[in-house]
Amino acid sequence: MKPSPLIYHRPRSIEEACQILAEVAHEGKVLAGGQSLIPMLSMRLAAPANLVDITAIDRLDSITASAGSGVTFQALATHAALASHPGANAVQPLLGRALQLVAHPTIRNRGTTVGSIVHADPSAEMPAVLLLLDGSVTVRSVRGSREIPARELFLGPLESALEPDEIATSVTVPGASAGVGVAIDEIARRHGDYALVGVAARVQVTDGEVTNARVTYVSAGEFGEVVDYRDVIGGASVADDRDPLWNRLSEAARERIETEADIHATARYRSQLVAALTARVVLRAARDGVASLATRPSAEHVEAGKK
């Protein structure tokens, strides 16, 4: 299939791109990596009258990282570039771990992480990561710039808080802290497919025990929600995976997270995946937190520079 007729724009600056979007109002779509948008255009699931291609804008693909300010990546930084960036991996390891789960290398080489986030797909990994890390998105328009916290970004499936004339120019996530571990895992029918269920966890440990555990889900639960399990898993031993609290966590996840059936899996099967993956990923994150006490600086500045 072919896209509906449209007017193609190729601005050379962010200011020009913002001006075009201001003029076309609700009839414009921004193209960066295009790995989600182009298939939607081809299948006519989206039919904008104007396509604003920002790939010709210089200096919009940088990645910077420091322990103090976290990781900031711009609109044209690809999944592959961010996943392989040594500074970003050192400052916030969950980024690289999650990006390795995104589709296939070909898509990661062209797809942009900012684009994936603002696309707001509940089946994608990076919105869940942004929520878990409590990051933010910076957007630009002719009216100026503003920062949208992750908790305010996602209004629903495929719906974000960006106004029609705004462009997401960068995303910032905080760096990791000593004693706080992160992990992510998912189950898919085939490697590279969308996950049947995915789980990302951020866990704080003190003296070998879990003190806090926050979890976000891919293809399960309410989109945009961060689930706090500290009331269930607080005090669990990180060293002992036979601690009864880990089984309790599995059952709590099964009870709290709603799942839906589709052509790929029943709701009951997805619920079982939620239960198993939640305990597995939270335990992995807890052990990452223990390891971080010996390896992760809590205050030193780690400068990573530009990509």
Q: Are 67 and 61 within 8 A, CB to CB?
A: no
**Assigned token pair, 284:** 């992995």
Give me the CATH code for the 7-53 domain, please.
3.30.43.10
pLDDT at 295: 81
pLDDT tens sequence across 163-180: 999 999 999 999 999 999
Please give the pLDDT value at position 117. Answer: 98
Q: Write down the CATH superfamily of domain 180-295.
A: CO dehydrogenase flavoprotein, C-terminal domain (3.30.390.50)
Q: Does 3.30.465.10 match the CATH number of domain 63-173? A: yes
The answer to whether residue 54 scores a pLDDT higher than 50 is: yes
Q: Rg of the Cα trace of the chain?
A: 20
pLDDT computed for residue 192 by the predictor: 87
pLDDT confidence bin for 297, thresholds 50/70/90: low
User: Residue 200 gets which letter from DSSP?
Assistant: E
In angstroms, the CA 166 to CA 49 distance is 16
The domain limits of the chain are 7-53, 63-173, 180-295
Total H helices, total E strands in the chain:
12, 14
Q: Residue 73: what residue type?
A: F
pLDDT in tens, 101-116: 999 999 999 999 999 9
